[in-house]
Amino acid sequence: MKVFDLGCEAGHSFEGWFGSDDDYAQQKERGLLECPFCASRDISKRLSAPRLNLRAGGSVRSEGDAIPADAEVPAVPALPARPPSPEAAATMAVMQQAWLKAMRHVIENTEDVGGRFAEEARRIHYGESPERGIRGQTTPQERESLIDEGIEVVPLPMPKGLGGPLQ
Ligand SMILES: [Zn+2]
């Protein structure tokens, strides 16, 4: 079993579990890989999990099989679009757990500023607030203008039931 860090064009990141590199390549080839958050089929393999905090704290990485050193080819695995087999369902459960674990890490290491996210991110960026990792909600428009200002923002979809998107 191999675990790849995958991402879609919208910036969602997730893990894909494959029996082998070939398995991944075939699923991608056949368009079976899709983003679990937005169903995008434009999936690419990432070399590492995204950094979730703005500044404070470390990066979030799920534990699992290491990506082989020769995995530089930007292959792209995804999730099968077919109805899940019992094995696939088990895989999904594992992925979900890894995801929730990562979410907990983020929540423990960032301050929730809710709807004031964009404002607070700017204050930190311009030195008006103490530097720290924050999360909260913002609109795509706000996110774009933050990025235009050189402020690092990572879209982070939350599992259903935990609230709106994290940043
Ligand atoms: Zn997506």
Ligand 1 centroid to Cα of residue 79, in Å, is 12
The answer to the question of residue 79 being in a domain is yes
pTM: 0.37
**Lookup result for tokens 């020769």:** 70
Ligand 1 centroid to Cα of residue 14, in Å, is 9
Ligand 1 centroid to Cα of residue 40, in Å, is 5
> How open is the CA angle 166-59-21, to the nearest 5 degrees?
100
Overall number of domains in the chain? 1
The answer to the question of residue 146 being in a domain is no
Ligand 1 centroid to Cα of residue 32, in Å, is 14
Residue-wise pLDDT for 64-88, tens only, equals 555 555 545 455 555 555 566 777 7
d(CA 13, CA 47): 11
| pLDDT value of position 42 | 92
| pLDDT value of position 167 | 53
Q: Which domain holds residue 58?
A: 2-83
Residue 124, C-beta contacts closer than 8 angstroms, at least 6 positions apart: 54, 55, 130, 131, 132, 134
